[in-house]
Structure 1
Amino acid sequence: MTTLKKLNSKYPNKTVFITGAASGLGASFARLLAENGWSLHLSDINSSGLEALKVKLKEAREVHIYELDVSDKLSYQRTVEAIQKNTSVVDLVINNAGIGDGEFFQDYKPDLWERMIQINLIGVYYGCHHFIPWMINQSSGTIINIGSAAGFMNAPGMSAYNVSKAGVYALSDTLYHELKSKNIHVSVVTPTFFKTNIMSQAQGSQAFVHFAEKQMHHSTTDAEEMAQTVLGQAANGKFHIIHPKEARRAYFFKKWFPSLVSRQFEKMMAKFLRKR
């Protein structure tokens, strides 16, 4: 596919590692890369979902699957060791695994805060920690970290999620500058809601879960479109990938008209409080 022409030519080995690959955006990345003949190393906490996906990826050069909880340091280390037995090169790493949730700060329990940070931020850190030395040694590579527009919008009722995704952006920005001279490219993706299953493990307020699911239902963007856009822009050397158009609009208003965004958040708060 033309979307990946530049990425394919840049990395003739075409080998990728993806977290959270069993469903949603991760599975869409896997399908698109399989169609382009890549070797896939796919991980997820959902091993049965990985098995089901593997059967469908017939165009891939090869497919390896690994059961992985990205928040578990020892599990991540074991997974990397298993990958090293199966390949000597990893051209592309997509740190995609993540969860969504929401609740007012005072009601969101500490254990849920820790879970959010461990999966959404520390999980991305582990991916970078393990694969950056590998890429430095091979003098090439691309890392794509999946963040969120929540990381710069900071809407009420999403403090833990906002912080986790702001951290992903900050880490990515730092690594982009540190690694450019080593022929390693870093991209960070900050989407708004699109059709995916990110709220499947939410444990916070049902009102916030319902709000998020409603936004995803009405979105005109699906995971396949997101995957194509992200891979295409990363191949062209784009650092900050803002998609879909709702994300670009949010970024524009947050940067240039923050008072308008603040008033919108005040209306959102009033609406949530009426329902409590």
Structure 2
Amino acid sequence: MRNKSLKNRKIIITGASSGIGKEMAIIAASRGAVPILLARSLDKLQMIQRHIHHDYDIVPDIHSLDVSDSDAVRLVFNEMIEKHKDIDALINNAGFGVFDYFSEASPDDIKRMFEVNVIGLMVCTRMLVPYMLKRNRGHIINVASIAGKLATPKSTVYAASKHAVLGFTNGLRMELAKTNIHVTAVNPGPIRTNFFDIADPSGQYIANVSRYIVEPEQVAKRVVNVIGTNTREVNIPWTMNAGARLYQFFPRLVEKAAANLLNKK
């Protein structure tokens, strides 16, 4: 059953300064939640804070944080736990991608993608799981990607990082199966955000997959809807998820039949 209200729920959102992170913060606040927002850009977080306060009379807690800095993650999360006491959900949304053929990929970009998309996500989660276990309740929501199920040329490293996120999420869910802590993976396809300013500065990929692009509000609403529910996965759009499912059963066929589509980055 989907939640009808998030009144007074305290929800941490990483990567909250733009895109679906920003939209999730606004939608959650509209339903009465108290968002706790993390991102590198404090200026952008302050703008969102003012917007939410003005529209919903709720003041989000905001913190400047680069999730790839494990020491900073530990400091900020300890501060949040001490300040808020009751934290109901963590949405690990921070992430980025760079689309290059692997033979041309920068070692620095490879390292950075794993530091942010995988290690950062794990360290944030590690800071909250023991706390949630003591309370025997909570929700971990990890934003992965359809790319974690169906890799494509030029997204090789990004897809590998999101595949790692899915593996981690599935394993953590099984570890916590006998508790009241829910673990959900979110697998969006391409979203109309500034993600592609870095991932695809040429704009070619966006042009080629325009029919599959979803709006950030669509994804954010789907994610906020499942907070507090025992939902295994959120997959959007259904067309790309159907392709990923088909690939699991017939990988050789999909790679051959969809070669032109998969090679459009």
Q: In the aligned structure 1, how far is the partner of 2:263 from the partner of 2:209?
A: 22
Q: What do residues 142-163 of structure 1 show as CA deviations (whole Å, max 9, x unaligned)?
A: 0100000111101111111011
Q: In the alignment, residue 191 of structure 1 is paired with which amino acid?
A: P
Alignment size in residue pairs: 263
1:35 to 9, 16, 30: 30
Q: In the aligned structure 1, how far is the partner of 2:190 from the partner of 2:19?
A: 12
2:85 aligned counterpart, secondary structure: coil
Q: In the aligned structure 2, how far is the partner of 1:25 from the partner of 1:216?
A: 19
Offset at residue 115 of structure 1 (A) = 0.4
Q: In the aligned structure 2, how far is the partner of 1:269 from the partner of 1:246?
A: 14
Q: In the alignment, residue 189 of structure 2 is paired with which amino acid?
A: T
Q: In the aligned structure 2, how far is the partner of 1:111 from the partner of 1:29?
A: 30
Does the 8 A contact of 1:38 with 1:62 survive in 2? no
1:150-229 alignment runs, 5 A limit: 150-202=147-199, 206=201, 210-214=203-207, 217-219=210-212, 221-229=214-222
Q: Does 1:18 align with 2:17?
A: no
Tell me whether 97-106 or 256-265 shows the greater mean CA deviation.
256-265
What corresponds to 1:230 in structure 2?
223
Does the 8 A contact of 1:40 with 1:60 survive in 2? no
Give the direction of change, closer, same or farther, for the CA distance of 1:53–1:271 in structure 2 (3 Å limit).
closer
Offset at residue 253 of structure 1 (A) = 2.2
What corresponds to 1:248 in structure 2?
241
Q: In the aligned structure 2, how far is the partner of 1:164 from the partner of 1:36?
A: 32
Q: Does 1:137 align with 2:134?
A: yes
Q: What do residues 8-27 of structure 1 show as CA deviations (whole Å, max 9, x unaligned)?
A: 3xxx6400110000110001
Identical amino acids, percent of aligned pairs: 27
Relative to the length of structure 1, the TM-score reads: 0.87
Does the 8 A contact of 2:182 with 2:228 survive in 1? no
1:100-115 alignment runs, 5 A limit: 100-115=97-112
Q: In the aligned structure 2, how far is the partner of 1:184 from the partner of 1:72?
A: 26
1:53 to 48, 54, 62: 48
Q: In the alignment, residue 174 of structure 1 is paired with which amino acid?
A: G
What corresponds to 2:254 in structure 1?
261
Q: In the aligned structure 2, how far is the partner of 1:165 from the partner of 1:147?
A: 5
Q: In the aligned structure 1, how far is the partner of 2:237 from the partner of 2:261?
A: 22
Give the direction of change, closer, same or farther, for the CA distance of 1:68–1:197 in structure 2 (3 Å limit).
same
Offset at residue 214 of structure 1 (A) = 2.6
Does the 8 A contact of 2:20 with 2:216 survive in 1? yes
What corresponds to 1:4 in structure 2?
3
Flag as ranges the 4+ runs of structure 1 deviating above 3 A: 215-220, 233-236, 268-272
Offset at residue 271 of structure 1 (A) = 6.4
Does the 8 A contact of 2:148 with 2:166 survive in 1? yes
Q: In the alignment, residue 176 of structure 1 is paired with which amino acid?
A: R
Relative to the length of structure 2, the TM-score reads: 0.91
Does the 8 A contact of 1:71 with 1:123 survive in 2? yes
Offset at residue 138 of structure 1 (A) = 1.3
Gaps in structure 1 of 5+ consecutive residues: none
2:38 aligned counterpart, secondary structure: strand
Offset at residue 171 of structure 1 (A) = 0.3
Give the direction of change, closer, same or farther, for the CA distance of 1:234–1:249 in structure 2 (3 Å limit).
farther
